[in-house]
Amino acid sequence: MKGVWPLLVVLCLLIDCINGEDAYVFFTWNVTYGDIYPFGVKQQGILINGQFPGPQIDSVTNDNLIISVFNSLDEPFLLSWNGVQQRRNSWQDGVYGTNCPIPPGQNFTYVLQVKDQIGSFFYFPSLAFHKAAGGFGGIKISSRSVIPVPFPPPAGDFTILAGDWFKQNHTDLKAILDSGHDLPFPDGLLINGRGSNGYTFTVDQGKTYRFRISNVGLTTSFNFRIEGHKMLLVEVEGTHTLQNTYDSFDIHLGQSVSILLTADQPAKAYSIVVSTRFTSQVLTATSVLKYSNSGGSVPGLPPGGPTTEIDWSLNQARSIRQNLTASGPRPNPQGSYHYGLVNTTRTIRLANSAPIINGKQRYAVNSVSFIPADTPLKLADYFSISGVFNLGSIPDNPTGGGGYLQTSVMAADFRGFVEVVFENSEDTVQSWHIDGHIFFVVGMDGGQWSSSSRLSYNLRDGISRSTIQVYPKSWTALYMPLDNVGMWNIRSANWVRQYLGQQFYLRVYSPANSWRDEYPIPKNALLCGRASGRKTRPL
C-alpha cells in the first residue's frame, strides 16, 4: 500500500486540475487626466489609478481577467490588449471595429481570458489618438507551475515600456493629423514614463534577471542595449526562442521581447539605453542598472548603437527562431505544430502607401484608406445591420492605383491557412500587428516579392508572434492559421499611419453559429450607432 498512496495522491491532483475552473483575477481601474512631466514640461496625461504608465497585469496561462474600467475622462475611451488573442472572443478586443467606446462618466467591464498564452504584452488606449497621452501598461502571462520553462527561474522580473514621445498634448497632435498634415519628429524617448536616468533597476551581483521590453511608441523603432552586458533572448510575444546572445536588439513599434541578463560585471552603475533606429536624427534615453553592492557611482556616456543600418537589423531579425523543443503554454513542444507542412488555402498580399486624398495626407493598404463607420463592425455583423460595411471592400492584392476612402473589411473562412505577404515600396520601416492570431514568420528580404521568393522560406522554425516589421523596399511573408472566429483588426503599429487609414478588418467566419467556435455577445456589451436600443441577450 505504501507504493500505492503516492499514485493516488497524484491521481487526485490531476482530477482536481481537470475539473477545476481557471482562476479569476479582478482589476478595478479609474481612467483620468492628470499632470505628467516626462521632459520637465507639464503635459496632460492619461492615468490609470493615478499611474503613468498604468498598473501591470500579472497573470498565469488561462486566467480569466475581469477588468472594470471607469472612464473619468471628458470623452469616450477604449482599451485594447496588444497580443492577447481573445480566443473566440473578439467582443473584448477593445478597438472601435469591435467595441463601442466607454462614454464619459460610465463604466465597462472587460471579461477576457489569456487562453493558452504565455509571455510579454501590453495594453493601450486605442481611440482618438489617446495613445499619445499614456494609458498604457504591461501584461505578463506566466506559465503554469506544471509546465517547464526552458531556463531557470530568474532572480527578478522587470518590465520596460519604452517609446518615442511628444511634448504636445494628444489633442494638439490629433488636430495636426485631422488637418491633413503629418506629425513633426518626436521630442524624445521615454522609459517607463520617464526621461533619461529617471528610472533605476537594482540587481544583485551574480544573479540573472528577466527584462520584458515593449515598444509602446507612436512612430519609431528603437535599439535596446545594456552597457557592458550581453543579453540572452528567450521569448518574443509569447513564443520561447532559440537562446541567442546579443549585444543590442532592435524592437519595432508594437513589439515585445524578453531577455535574460546576468549581473556578472564589476559592481557599479551601468546605462540601459534605447535609441531610435532608421532616423536621421537619433534620439536616446537611458535608465540605470545599479548593482546592489556598488557605491553611488553614476553611468558615464551611454554606449552608441546602430542607427540606419538596415542589413544589420534584417540579419538580426532572421536569427530569431522558435525553440522547437521548449513547451509553450501547454506541455507539448512548440515544434509539434508543423506549419511548413500545411497547405495554404489563400495568398493575401498587402502593400502600404501614403496617398494624398482630398488634399490631405492619408495612409492606405492596397490603395484603401480606412475610415471608421458609424457603428462598430462586429455589432453591425451580429445584428445584420446593412450599409455599415461591405465584405470584400479591400482587395487581396495591391492595385497600384490611387488611394481612396473606404470602411474596408476582408472576408475569410474559419480554419483556413493563409499566406500573408506585406510589401513595402516606401523608404520607411513598417510595423504590422494582427489581432486575434499568431503567425509564423517564414521570410523577409529586400526587393519585390514573387512566387519564387517562397524558395527561401523557413518552413521549420520561423518565430511565431503577432507583430512584425517590414524593412524599406522589402517584403515580409507569414503563414497564419485562421483559427479564431471574429472581426479582427489588421493595422500599422505606427500610430500616425493607423489613425490616418493604414488598417482594415478581417472577418473570420464560421457558418456553424456555435459557442464552440465563438462566444455569444456579452450581456454587458455597450451598444451605439445603429445598434443603439437593441438587446444583447437575457441576463
How many CA atoms lie less than 13 Å away from 191 in the CB half-sphere? 30
Report pLDDT for 537: 80
Q: Which three cell numbers stand for residue 323?
A: 525553440
Return the pLDDT at 539: 59
Among the listed residues 416, 375, 412, the one whose alpha carbon sits nearest the alpha carbon of residue 505 = 412
Distances (CA, A) of 503 to 291, 331, 368, 428: 44, 36, 9, 17
Q: What is the pLDDT of residue 207?
A: 98
What pLDDT, on the 0 to 100 scale, is given for residue 14? 42
Look at residue 9 in the predicted model and tell me its pLDDT.
37
CA pair distance 155, 86, nearest whole angstrom: 31
Eight-state DSSP code of residue 437: -
pLDDT at 295: 83
Q: Where are the beta strands (DSSP E) in 129-168?
A: 137-142, 156-165
Residue ranges of the chain whose pLDDT lies below 70 = 1-20, 539
**Residue 481 main-chain phi, psi, to 5 deg:** -75, 130
% helix, strand, coil for the chain, step of 5: 10, 40, 50
Distance, CA of 482 to CA of 475 (rounded, Å): 21
Q: Other C-beta atoms within 10 Å of 419: how many?
A: 18
Grouping H, G, I as helix, E, B as strand and the rest as coil, residue 94 is: coil
Q: How far separated are the first and last CA of the chain, in Å rounded?
A: 52
